[in-house]
Structure 1
Amino acid sequence: MDAFSRSWAALRAAVAELPDEDFARPSGCAGWLVRDLVCHLIIDAQDVLITLVTPAGTEPTRDAVTYWDIAEKPPTGDDPLDALIVRLAAAYEEPWLLKFHLDDVGSAAGRAAELADPALRVATRDVVLTADDYLRAYVLEWTLHHLDLIAHLPDAADPPAEGLSGARELLEKIAGAAFPPSFSDKDALLVGTGRRAPSEAEKSELGELAAKLPLVLG
Structure 2
Amino acid sequence: MSSPELAALRIAYSDISTIASSLEEEDSWLPTRCLGWTVRDLLVHLLGDVQRALVALATPAAGPADRDAVTWWSGTEPTEDPGFRELRTLRTIAGAWELEDLVRTFMETTRAVVALAGRTPPEALVATRGHVLQAVDLVTTLAVKAAVHHLDLVLELRRPGPRTEPLALVRCTLDSLLGHPAPTDWPDERWALLGTGRVPPGGGERRALGAAAARLPLLC
Which amino acid is the alignment partner of residue 146 of structure 1?
Answer: H
Matches within 5 A, 1:138-177: 138-153=142-157, 155-177=158-180
Instruction: Report the equivalent of 1:23.
Output: 28
Give the superposition deviation at 1:185: 0.5
- Residue 100 of structure 1 is matched in structure 2 by 104
Secondary structure in structure 1 of the residue aligned to 2:73: coil
Are 2:63 and 2:132, in contact at CA under 8 Å, matched by a contact in 1? yes
Partner secondary structure for residue 34 of structure 2: coil
The number of equivalent residue pairs is 214
Provide the secondary structure at the position in 2 that maps to 1:59: coil
| Residue number among 193, 196, 215 corresponding to 2:196 in the alignment | 193
Secondary structure of 2:71's match?
Answer: coil
2:215 paired residue number: 212
Partner of residue 3, structure 2: none
Deviation at 1:15, TM superposition (A): 1.5
Give the SS at the match of 2:198.
coil
Q: Structure 2 length normalisation: TM-score?
A: 0.90
Q: SS of 2:72's equivalent?
A: coil
1:90 corresponds to which residue?
Answer: 95
Contact 2:150 2:161 in 1 (8 A): yes
Change (3 A) 1:122 1:151: same
Question: Bigger CA drift: 132-141 or 170-179?
Answer: 170-179
Q: Percent identity?
A: 33
> Once the 2 structures are TM-superposed, how far is the Cα of residue 8 of structure 1 from its aligned partner?
1.7
Q: Write the distance in 2 (CA, Å) between the matches of 1:75 and 1:130.
A: 24
1:100 Cα deviation after fit: 1.6
- Shifted more, 60-69 versus 172-181: the winner is 172-181
How far apart in 1 are the matches of 2:68 and 2:84? Answer: 27
Instruction: Give how far 1:12 is off.
Output: 1.6
- The one of 68, 72, 76 equivalent to 1:67 is 72
- 1:98 deviates by 1.5
- Taking the aligned partners of 1:19 and 1:211, their CA distance within structure 2 comes to 40
5+ unaligned residues in a row in structure 2: which ranges?
1-5
Distance in 2 (CA, whole Å) between partners of 1:24 and 1:168 is 30
Name the counterpart of 2:118.
114
> Are residues 128 and 90 of structure 1, via their aligned partners in 2, closer, same or farther at CA, if it must alter by over 3 Å?
same
Q: Return 5+ residue gaps in structure 1 as ranges.
A: none
Describe the SS at the equivalent of 1:67: helix
Q: 1:29 to 1:168 in 2, by over 3 A?
A: same
Aligned equivalent of 1:131: 135
Match of 1:184 in 2: 187
1:146-196: CA deviations, max 9, x gaps? 10111222x201111111112111111122232212211001010111101
RMSD of the TM alignment (CA)?
1.9
Is the Cα contact below 8 Å between 2:73 and 2:219 reproduced in 1? no
Q: Shift of residue 82 of structure 1?
A: 4.2
1:38, distance to aligned residue in structure 2 (A): 0.5
SS in 1 for 2:162: coil
| Paired letter, 2:177 | I
2:56 maps to 1:51: yes
